[in-house]
Amino acid sequence: MNIDGKLTAKKLRDNLAVEVTELKLQHGIEPSLTVILVGEDPASQVYVKNKVKQTQEIGMISNEIKLPIDTTQLELISQLERLNDDKSVHGILVQLPLPKHIDESAVISAISPNKDVDGFHAMNSGRLFNGEAGALVPCTPQGCVLLAKQHLGVDLSGKHAVIIGRSNIVGKPVAMLLLQENCTVTIAHSRTQNLAEVCQQADILVAAVGIAEFVKADWVKKGATIIDVGINRITTKEGKFKLVGDVDFHDVVEKCGGITPVPGGVGPMTIACLLKNTLTAAKQSVR
């Protein structure tokens, strides 16, 4: 069974649009997201275009700042400081990856934690770790948990969740979110022994390892819910390019209880959760 990320994302955006309208009527505030793109990476340009379009569709203000590839780190941080001080801007996002001469960690740290809608700032990581309400949480992990809830129901208590991958962007934050849902959480990675056996124990399996079709059917418990975060481009036998996940979809689909397809699974939820974070940041600015 496919877990439809496009449909779930649309429902979330529809709900956000209602809340955006209410915020405008009650407080006169229009949530505003500013996206900064450095250079002309084609994939980043497409991604930013989709963010801008969906931001505007739910009634938010969307601003885009395009900077040349030779922009210095100091110049970029200067832009961020200006946006941090601008009260009309509620969310700031710097599209990654950045050119090699710019330190991504320094840039992320320069964004105000209250406007860090990517949820990457160390202060937001700490808020997530502490389970603080209103924390700005990384978007892909949020989307993973919402998709698991969509399939299994709101209560995930007692489920054993196994996450393959320990990145700061997906693996660690999704583990924290699932702990908050009262799951038992195992984080597996490249050094995990008997990885297949560990995965076989999972009621919820989150694959975020970055290896095309890595997870096979014999790794999966019958009836498990699989959230596939991977996006990998492979070449087919016909010489065409194809996007696949970290899970071998066709091998696994008949055995699992539900699986997110690639594309059309976690991806749409990532942008929807970015909009959710922007609305949260706008609401918090009222206080």
Domains, the chain, in order of start with CATH, read: 27-113 (3.40.50.10860), 139-267 (3.40.50.720)
Backbone φ and ψ for 106, nearest 5 degrees, come out as: -65, -40
pLDDT by residue for the chain (287 residues), tens only, comes to 799 999 999 999 999 999 999 999 999 999 999 999 999 888 888 888 889 999 999 999 999 999 999 999 999 999 999 999 999 999 999 999 999 999 999 999 999 999 999 999 999 999 999 999 889 999 999 999 999 999 999 899 999 999 999 999 999 999 999 999 999 999 999 899 999 999 999 999 999 999 999 999 999 999 999 999 999 999 888 888 899 999 999 999 999 999 999 999 999 999 999 999 999 999 999 87
At 166 the three-state DSSP class reads coil
Are the CB atoms for 204 and 160 separated by under 8 Å?
A: yes
Catalytic position from the list 4, 116, 118, 248: 118
CA nearest 203: which of 219, 181, 226? 226
- pLDDT value for 286: 86
| Length of the chain as a residue count | 287
Would residue 95 show up in a list of annotated catalytic residues for this protein?
yes
CA nearest 31: which of 84, 73, 90? 90
| Predicted TM-score of the model (pTM) | 0.95
Cα separations (Å) of 88 from 12, 33, 60, 83, 286? 24, 9, 12, 9, 12
Would residue 26 show up in a list of annotated catalytic residues for this protein?
no
Helix ranges (H only) for the chain are 5-27, 42-57, 73-85, 104-110, 122-130, 139-152, 171-180, 195-199, 249-252, 266-286
Catalytic position from the list 54, 79, 95, 142: 95
